[in-house]
Structure 1
Amino acid sequence: MGMYENPAPRGPTRHRVAIIGSGFSGLGMAIRLKQSGMNDFVVFEKEGGVGGTWRVNHYPGCACDVQSHLYSYSFEPNPRWSRMFAPQPEIKAYLEHCAQKYGVLPHLRFDTEIRSARWSEDEGLWHITDADGVEHTANVLVSGMGGLSTPAYPNVPGIERFKGRTFHSQQWDHDYDLKGKRVAVIGTGASAIQFVPQIQKSVAHLDLYQRTPPWVVPKPDRAITDAEKTLFEKLPFVQTAMRGAIYGMLESRALAFSVEPRIMKLAQKMAEAYIRRQVKDPALRAKLTPDYTMGCKRVLIADDYYPAVSQPNVELVTTGIREVRAHGVVDADGVEREVDSIIFGTGFKATDPVPRGVVYGRDGRDLVDAWPQGPEAYKGAAISGFPNLFFIVGPNTGLGHNSMVYMIESQVAYVTDALKTMDRRRLRSVEVQPAAQQRFNESLHARLRKAIWTVGGCMSWYVHPDSGRNVTLWPGFTWQFRLSTRRFDPLAYTLKPAGRPRSLGNARPGAARQAATT
């Protein structure tokens, strides 16, 4: 059987736990369940293999901006990383390796996109419908979809009239040869600063449309030597020590982001000096220099972005876009620039991760209606009115300073302990109490009001456009989050008992079976 062949027929399934997504979140959840002896679960993945964002994002130059020794599972270090910051193909291969090594492949159902999930109070089940109209059921639903999975497109008048090629960075068209083409890139975020230097070398001309410049700092990247790889293999504690050192160094940055934002002014001085060193043209440098405090928007790392933008075949356009015509883009001043292709480097819908009409909780309530001020949850995982539903990388669990894998492992531990508690106490359902969720979010947003993302003078994708609330980031140290999620806290939940006990660990992997509902 090939690695990515579905092991089970494509009919309805019944499991105790259903996981959506097989990136770091969904795969980490599946591995933890397996390690805990819980085998009655299924993982739905809309793509043809594991990897999540590291499978679907494959644009030129795609790489991680957290050091590879830390951007990996703590239980599965990789001594063979090629660089300090791993490129996308290596991270994808790492996740494929983990899926195979930890025996979760039989639980995976690829090419299965989930369209809706509806809670049945009478049955104590989630009814999950895929894109083929097949209905699956599970007692517990875990979302590992991630916050950066739905591409965001700007509202550009006339884009439908464009006769050339258009695509988003997440759906990079590798069959379209950019060599010698006139290309417009819209957006200057984390993806664009990676692919712009790669395509600049071959295109005839590149118009780079920038709405707000990012703060960019040097990328301390280098190749990892063969001697270092051998050392990590022979003496694993050396790599563990390096991982700990990187974690401590990155964690210290939380002081400037959320504890005392005034510290960020010192780092900003270094970033300003970096722009001066790399961009000699004063007019271009002025356009590339942000007018907000560093850290308010995502801080980006690159050594080749400023040199690429400074090349004669690149024009930085900051006046905005009025419309797109059949063969060109018209800026706000009425200047039309002819282009063959438009590439959207406009990121993702992080503040609206779940569209309307997808998740329905108790009494048929749409999840979107439970979020009038934007997404919120208890510890980023549980939502009142939606029993037995858990999010990994849920609201306010994102980071501006450290590795998301650390947060993912923290939430995975919390959800696993919740499942163990349900099994041990013979519970039919758990649902976070509204008061507990409210207290948690009031405390969280009180801290966010003092953080750099609020006081830094910018409008970022971290902030929900309607409420102005930061619904994306965790306002503090990651170790604080880990302490708060180390154990499931049943006192914050409404617990409903089941009628008949059933163990999570007594099921055969991949088998269709009735979930514990009575």
Structure 2
Amino acid sequence: MHTRIAIIGAGFGGLGAAIRLKQRGWTDFVVFERADDLGGTWRENSYPGCACDVPSQVYSFSFALNPRWTSTYSPQDEIWSYLRACADRFGVRPAIRFGTEVRAAAWDHGRWRLETSAGTWTADVLIAAGGPLNEPVIPKLPGLETFRGEAFHSARWNHGAELAGRRVAVIGTGASAIQIVPAIQPVAGTLTLFQRTPAWVMPRGERPLRPWEQRMYGRIPGAQRLVRTLAYWQIEATVLAFLRPALMRLAERAALANLRKAVRDPGLRARLTPDYRMGCKRVLKSDDYYPALVRDNVEVVTDAIAEVRPHAVVTRDGTEHPADVIVFGTGFRVSDLPIAERIRGRDGRSLAEHWQGSPQAFRGTTVAGFPNLFLLLGPNTGLGHNSVVLMIEAQIAYVLAALKTLDRKGIRALEPRPEAQARFVARVDRRMAGTVWATGCHSWYLDSTGRNSTLWPGSTWGYRLKMRRFDRSAYREVTA
């Protein structure tokens, strides 16, 4: 079977690409989704308390604003419903092949050959929109296989696990954990939080959206667009502190004041105080995380984990921490995406083999040696301050411009010139060197070589300006 454009993944990226392709007149496309429903990250993450940490008004497609958000920060179920509604509203659901996993994709004689769980497909263009937050990481703890209770990752939440009155161990203190802990603390018998590194936590300031606001947004779309624009620039301005680390001290003082107000115990407060520059790791937002940690049934443990026993987690000091349930809030494979092992270019080598542990791409979207391949949320397109949906839309616009160039010029395939890609990556690395992300902490932004191959070291506005035009001179034609 053949399609002009193959899209891998039906999350924000794949769905957005499908909608925009259809709106621009490209209808010969197929979306391959390994799950039985669309939604990507927002389908897979359904843990208690799951919500977006970016304001609702900027966490949606610019062409499909949602007047029905119920909160200033959208919960998981509403985002998932929004994405499903978009698929139906724009008529792209019939193009999605659910339950179809792309197991391998290789450039073969001028086309992409895709081996899927439902057979072989070929495509002229491949858009990889699998996303960076879909392959959970579970640490290899000695003895974990002997644990007699329930153990699962936050992105694979076991909704059948009984938490009421149980001894729950939460491992990790990232963006998922700070939502899970307040949500399950009231029902857990005891909750032991294993913290390796304390996070910088800012107040969230969340509130319900009032019925009159929802009515206004529904009846006067321009009003919601104005609110979205104001929210966007308010958030966008914060990038200055990430690019000029000295400016981050003001935010640090606000975060420490928030900590002092919520946590009176000096010992616990000391354990929760970061010793690195704010922003070097992801800044977290919560109004209820610190209040949950001071409850009588919660203990924060900072000693490293040595092993897991049938009914306990044991730290290096020899202390047994009884547990009936273990929840891993330990993140995802971001810089070593499994899909990179499945996509092979002109020379037969995979993306993973080309990258050698440090992903690189021209404008975070195309890769030398991989004709007609477009990555959505590829290397150096993540954000530490704003909505990644903005980056996705900028990339989709770039893909559409590339397709227009192919069609208008009658070109079969294009790939970035190696020298153009190398110059782009070098510029990104130079800009990264002066940012807060290069101040010395260890974070999931860094790949196995120590390079920050995850984040864009600038504003979303700047990136969008770069992506407005397809730079034909940076590409070379591929005939086979």
* TM-score, normalised via structure 1 length: 0.91
What is the CA–CA distance in structure 2 between the aligned matches of 1:197 and 1:79, rounded to whole Å?
A: 28
Is the counterpart of residue 471 in structure 1 residue 457 in structure 2?
no
1:460 maps to: 443
- Structure 2 residue matching 1:135: 3-state secondary structure: strand
Preserved CA contact (<8 Å) 1:16 1:40: yes
What do residues 15-41 of structure 1 show as CA deviations (whole Å, max 9, x unaligned)?
A: 010000111100000001000000000
What is the CA–CA distance in structure 2 between the aligned matches of 1:355 and 1:236, rounded to whole Å?
A: 39
- 1:20-419 residue pairs with structure 2 within 5 A? 20-120=8-108, 122=109, 124-132=110-118, 134-258=119-243, 260-354=244-338, 357-419=341-403
Equivalent position amino acid for 2:221 in 1: P
What do residues 80-122 of structure 1 show as CA deviations (whole Å, max 9, x unaligned)?
A: 11001010111001000110011101110001111111111x2
- Structure 2 residue matching 1:115: 3-state secondary structure: strand
- Structure 1 residue matching 2:333: 3-state secondary structure: coil
Preserved CA contact (<8 Å) 2:358 2:449: yes
What is the CA–CA distance in structure 1 between the aligned matches of 2:170 and 2:357, rounded to whole Å?
A: 32
What do residues 378-398 of structure 1 show as CA deviations (whole Å, max 9, x unaligned)?
A: 011001111111100000000
1:440 maps to: 424
- 1:496-507 residue pairs with structure 2 within 5 A? 496=478
Equivalent position amino acid for 2:467 in 1: T
2:476 maps to: 494
- Structure 1 residue matching 2:57: 3-state secondary structure: coil
Preserved CA contact (<8 Å) 1:17 1:40: yes
What is the CA–CA distance in structure 2 between the aligned matches of 1:355 and 1:152, rounded to whole Å?
A: 15
The number of equivalent residue pairs is: 480
Identity fraction in percent: 52
TM-aligned CA distance change 1:333 to 1:439, over 3 Å: same
What do residues 137-187 of structure 1 show as CA deviations (whole Å, max 9, x unaligned)?
A: 111110111111110111211111111111100010111111011011100
Equivalent position amino acid for 1:315 in 2: E
What is the CA–CA distance in structure 2 between the aligned matches of 1:363 and 1:87, rounded to whole Å?
A: 44
Preserved CA contact (<8 Å) 2:371 2:478: no
Preserved CA contact (<8 Å) 1:395 1:471: yes
1:451 maps to: 435
What is the CA–CA distance in structure 2 between the aligned matches of 1:493 and 1:87, rounded to whole Å?
A: 41
Q: Report deviation, 1:316.
A: 0.5
Across the aligned residues of Structure 1 and Structure 2, the Cα RMSD in angstroms comes to 1.1
Q: Report deviation, 1:338.
A: 1.5
* TM-score, normalised via structure 2 length: 0.98
Preserved CA contact (<8 Å) 1:410 1:485: yes
What is the CA–CA distance in structure 2 between the aligned matches of 1:290 and 1:153, rounded to whole Å?
A: 24
What do residues 38-59 of structure 1 show as CA deviations (whole Å, max 9, x unaligned)?
A: 0000000111111110011000
Equivalent position amino acid for 1:321 in 2: I
Preserved CA contact (<8 Å) 1:373 1:469: no
Preserved CA contact (<8 Å) 2:336 2:357: no
- Structure 2 residue matching 1:364: 3-state secondary structure: coil
Determine which of 395, 408, 430 is the counterpart of 2:414: 430
Equivalent position amino acid for 1:63 in 2: A
Equivalent position amino acid for 2:254 in 1: M
What is the CA–CA distance in structure 1 between the aligned matches of 2:62 and 2:211, rounded to whole Å?
A: 22
Equivalent position amino acid for 1:489 in 2: D
What is the CA–CA distance in structure 2 between the aligned matches of 1:173 and 1:131, rounded to whole Å?
A: 26
Unaligned segments of structure 1, at least 5 residues = 1-12, 498-516
Q: Report deviation, 1:496.
A: 3.5
Q: Report deviation, 1:441.
A: 0.4
Unaligned segments of structure 2, at least 5 residues = none
Q: Report deviation, 1:356.
A: 6.0
Which stretch shifts more, 41-50 or 345-354?
345-354
TM-aligned CA distance change 1:357 to 1:224, over 3 Å: closer
Q: Report deviation, 1:354.
A: 3.1
- Structure 2 residue matching 1:265: 3-state secondary structure: helix
What is the CA–CA distance in structure 1 between the aligned matches of 2:76 and 2:183, rounded to whole Å?
A: 14
Q: Report deviation, 1:373.
A: 4.7
What is the CA–CA distance in structure 2 between the aligned matches of 1:99 and 1:28, rounded to whole Å?
A: 9
Q: Report deviation, 1:357.
A: 3.8
What is the CA–CA distance in structure 1 between the aligned matches of 2:77 and 2:147, rounded to whole Å?
A: 32
Preserved CA contact (<8 Å) 1:69 1:242: yes
What is the CA–CA distance in structure 2 between the aligned matches of 1:233 and 1:202, rounded to whole Å?
A: 38
What do residues 195-222 of structure 1 show as CA deviations (whole Å, max 9, x unaligned)?
A: 1111111011111100001100101211
